Amino acid sequence: MADHYPHGPCGHWRAAHGACVLAAAYLLAALWAPVLVPAVCAAAAVSAPALVLARRSSRRLVRTLLAVAVLVLVGLAGAALLAEEREGGVLWLVVAGFLAPLPVVPWLYACSFEEEDR
């Protein structure tokens, strides 16, 4: 594809394979095992930023992506655990799922930013 993509990214089969696994898992779970949909959707959401590793990869960036994933997953898992808590569930959703990551994720992005792709 070099002719179509003169500034092209490097080839990364892992990105394509990962996307296929998640796509197939979602279809299977949604159709036959809805109880697994939350896990597949959460995995897809937190692994999507990792597509950046196809263009630039560093230990700092991997650590940043892991930190973001942990932050998001803690929010989602806590919400799932507090499903039956009337006020506690809503408060967790708003505070841990929404408000807490608001300043942190953009700050982590800024820290991981590089002026040029490597």
Partner 1 sequence: MTILLLLALVAAILAAWGSVASRNPTDYFAAGRRGGVWLVGVAGTAAGVSAFTFVGGPGLFALVGAGSLWMILSAPLTGALQCWVAGEPIVRLARGGAILTVPELVAACAGRPAQAVAALVIVVGSVASLAVQTKAAAVLGEVFLGVEGTLAALVAMSATALYTALGGMRAGLVADAVQGGVMAVVAAGLAAWALAAAGGPAAALHTLSAHRPELLGSFGAVPPAQAFAWYALFCLGTLAQPHYLQKFLFLSDRSQLRWLPAVLTGALATTLTVWLGVGLAGSALVARGQLELTHPDDLAPRLVALLGPWAVALAGTAALAALMSTSASFLNLAAAAVTRDLPASLGWAPRGVAAARLATLLVVATATALGLASDRAVAMLGLLGWGFFTAALLPTVALGLAWDSVRPVAAATAMAAGAIVDLSLEAVRPALPRGLEPGLAGAAVGTLVLVGLSLLANRTARAVPRGRR
Q: Does 95 bind partner 1 (CB under 8 A)?
A: no
Give the shortest CB-58-to-partner 1 separation in angstroms: 13
Q: Alpha helix (H) ranges present in 33-58?
A: 37-47
Q: Does 16 bind partner 1 (CB under 8 A)?
A: yes
Where in 55-74 is the site for partner 1 (CB under 8 A)? 55-56, 68, 72
CB 40 within 8 A of CB 85: no
**Nearer to partner 1 by C-beta: 59 or 116?**
116
Q: Residue holding tokens 């630039």? A: 56
Give the shortest CB-65-to-partner 1 separation in angstroms: 8
* CB within 8 Å of 27: residues ≥ 6 apart: none
Question: Coil, helix or strand for 9?
Answer: coil
For residue 116, the 8-state DSSP code is S
Give the shortest CB-59-to-partner 1 separation in angstroms: 16
Q: Using CB under 8 A, which of 59, 66, 73, 110 touches partner 1? A: 110
